[in-house]
Amino acid sequence: MYKEYDYKSTLAPYIFNYVSEKRSLGFLYDSESYTLKRFDDYCIRKELKDQRVDKSFLNEWMQPGKNEGQTSKTRRVSVVRGLLIYMNTVGINAYIPHHFNSNDTQIPHVMSKKEIIAFFTEIDRYSPGPRYVRFANEYKVMFRLIYSCGLRNSEACNLKFADIRNKDKSILICQSKGRKDRIVYLANDMMELLQQYCSSVKKTKYPSFPFYLMHLLKHRFLQYMQSEYILRLQHQTRYQVRQEHGHHLKSYPISLLNSNQYLLY
């Protein structure tokens, strides 16, 4: 079911029709509908009397809110920009904002072979108490899967046992970015490691998902950042680990990481 909002400003008919059109094309458009509800409230607060939306009217909306990051602001403005483009197509002359993206571009760091080995060594050294044994072993497999297959964080964490296809040594990624599915093929040693890990955790209280400690991954990365190999990489993220896949796929096979010896079950 879609989330429905009661739009009450003078732009309400256009917002409703725009959302309906998006959903008719197959988009869920729930978070965007909430953003448009906020814009609808903004129009009421600013006492918009007609459909003429000009640049000055949008000035406050274009500014970042309290504790709002650049990415969130850009996403919020982009949703309203889509509405205003739609309004122009149906004959309403409305200002369309431009150049509201951040100009700051972070150049990703490509880790060297030495840094990659140090990265996985640091992960494999993690030794928690008995309560979190699965937690430690999960990292060893999850980050190798992200690295060797170029997965997004959510793709690895939402992976189900049913999505692991042993016959053709692949995994099925369902409803990822853009609500798209894809098949990712694994190297022989990565598939062997994943099969061993899954066999060891299938009988736990989380029978559907191989990985379940997503919210604790950032903590582990902060620990890794303290190592001597990462002091100059203060912005290292799981996203960048995913990007290492494309750069090192042919140069550094997963076997380089000696993955099987770290499986503790």
**pLDDT tens-place string over residues 106-136:** 666 677 788 788 778 877 877 766 666 666 7
Q: Which two tokens stand for residue 258?
A: 């000696």
Q: Which of 25, 56, 89 is the last residue of a domain?
A: 89
Q: pLDDT at position 108, please?
A: 64
168 located within any domain: yes
Is residue 132 located within the same domain as residue 22? no
Q: Does 85 share its domain with 215? A: no
Inside any domain, residue 219 = yes
Asked if residue 76 and residue 122 are part of one domain, the reply reads no
What is the domain count for the chain?
A: 2
Please check whether residues 133 and 41 belong to one and the same domain: no
pTM here is 0.54
Give the pLDDT of residue 183.
93
Q: Which of 96-105, 159-168, 220-229 has the highest mean pLDDT?
A: 159-168
Range 232-250 burial, b when 16+ CB lie within 10 A, else e: ebeebebeebbbbeeebee
The boundaries of the domain holding residue 78 are 12-89
Runs of H (alpha helix) within 127-184: 133-149, 153-157
In a domain, 5, yes or no: no
Residue 171: half-sphere exposure toward Cβ, Cα within 13 Å: 26
127 & 67 share domain: no
| One domain, residues 118 and 78 | no
Does 7 fall in a domain?
no
In a domain, 3, yes or no: no
